[in-house]
Amino acid sequence: MENTINTRESGSPNAAPNSGWRVIKTWLGVGVVVAGSAAAAVWNKEAFAAATEKPAPPAPPLVSVAVSPPLQHDVEAKLQFLGQFSGVEHLEIRAQVGGTLAQISFKDGDVVKKGDLLFVIDPEPYEIRLSQAKAQLESAKARVELAEREMERAETSIRAGVDSRQTYDQRVAERHVAVAAVAAAEALIRDARFDLGRTRITAPFSGRIGTHLVSVGNLIAGSRAAGSPTTLLATLVSLESVYLNFDMSEADYMAFLRARGSQPSPLADTVEISLSDETTFSRTGTLDFLDNALNRSSGTIRARATVPNSDLLLRPGGFARVRVALGPAAPGLLVPDSAVLPDQSQHVVMTVGTDGTVAPKVVKVGDLRGGLRVVRSGLDPTDRVVVEGIPTVRPGQKVATTAGAIRLNPGRD
């Protein structure tokens, strides 16, 4: 019986299915355990990542800039240059006679009047020459008197038949020689007086004198001839008016000529002048000279204006800005000078489009008017120009905009 039972358990048909089911259940259990472990591992990883992950930073706010359309204003067409003052009259004071400098009658930098005494050269040698010339004149006059008496006696002797005609002719010639000696002595006197007068050097015109270049006691060289070496004593420049010299480029010169083409003469025009420490063009002058040729090396032409100097503030050698008008006022665009950025050889203005994107525009600029820069081309009246916050923007950047303002200051240029 035991054998039968064992045989059934081991050899009956139901023994294999029961054994396979047990194996399947075993592997299913293992799979459930593995899947549970894997799910637990994934859940733990996601939970750890969620616990340790930082939230994404918020987007930075847009840079805020102030924008404004360019200011539309009537602008006169003008050219601006840098000029330098020079004296209308500039004199190098040199002596016409030599000698020892005996006196200086001014202080360095004084304003002197025409005829004021400046230098005195020791006059004694020239006084001696004058005395000698006077003595020669007296001697010559005495010879004339003697020659006249000799001529009268010779004439009487001829009438009496004592002397010949030849003797009389000799006496006449001697008188002519004596008269010529008188004329020569008088010329020597004038020459000596001329030299004596030149020992006192006076100002030939009113102006400001520079520093004295020779001290009292020095021996100076003087000459009437221009080419002979002489000693420079000082310099004198006039003050009532001064020249303002400046150079026009060929392009500016052509624009000037075309603007003045309908007038009989392009000269005698009023120019505006601003000194180096001034912000306005408060002075005026008269353009009275244009050179007859352009400089081949620089491509410029020299121009000159005469400027009144009633307050004696203008000095030769100083610099000033000068503006030359080309025509009547016409509508133009103005922007702050700080809004114009240099870009190599060009100028750029930053603008903001309707979508808030910064876009640069290349412009051609003119001079300053009322503290603003004239834009000749490259900008439209509807453009929104960045007037504040320029250092914080770059091309293509998105920005937030606020309304700005461009104001003209008539008191500035």
CB 392 within 8 A of CB 261: no
pLDDT at position 15, please? 45
One pLDDT digit (tens) per residue for the chain, 413 residues: 344 434 444 444 444 445 555 555 555 454 544 445 544 444 455 554 555 556 667 767 888 999 999 999 888 778 889 999 999 999 999 999 999 999 999 999 999 999 999 999 999 999 999 999 999 999 999 988 888 888 888 777 777 766 667 777 787 888 888 889 999 999 999 999 999 999 999 999 999 999 999 999 999 999 887 767 899 999 999 989 999 999 999 988 888 888 776 554 545 678 999 998 888 888 999 998 999 899 999 999 999 999 999 888 898 999 999 988 887 778 889 999 999 998 888 899 999 998 999 999 999 888 788 888 989 889 999 999 999 988 888 999 999 989 988 988 776 66
320: part of which helix (H) or strand (E)? strand 319-336
Up-side HSE of residue 107: CA atoms within 13 Å toward CB? 2
C-alpha 353/C-alpha 155 separation (Å) is 121
pLDDT at position 226, please? 72
**Residues 149, 154, 159: CA angle, nearest 5 degrees:** 130
CB atoms within 10 A of CB 275: 17
Contacts 24+ apart (CB under 8 A), 310-317: 310/240, 312/111, 312/208, 312/239, 313/275, 314/85, 314/242, 314/275, 315/85, 315/242, 316/85, 316/86, 316/87, 316/90, 316/237, 316/242, 317/84, 317/85, 317/86
331 — alpha (psi -120 to 50), left (phi > 0) or beta?
beta
Three-state secondary structure call for residue 54: coil
Nearest to 222 by CA among 240, 206, 200: 200
CB 67 within 8 A of CB 386: yes
C-alpha 245/C-alpha 105 separation (Å) is 33
Contacts 24+ apart (CB under 8 A), 284-289: 285/244, 285/322, 287/324
CB 288 within 8 A of CB 308: no
- Is the full-model pTM beyond 0.75? no
Nearest to 210 by CA among 233, 234, 241: 234
- The label of the residue with tokens 């000459």 reads 223
Q: Would you state the structure tokens that stand for residue 234, as one six-digit string? A: 């000082």
CB 337 within 8 A of CB 327: no
CB neighbour class for 197 (10 Å; exposed up to 12, middle 13-18, buried from 19): middle
Three-state secondary structure call for residue 203: coil
**Residues 166, 167, 170: CA angle, nearest 5 degrees:** 90
CB atoms within 10 A of CB 262: 6
CB atoms within 10 A of CB 285: 23
CB 248 within 8 A of CB 322: no
Helices in 71-164 by DSSP H: which ranges?
124-160
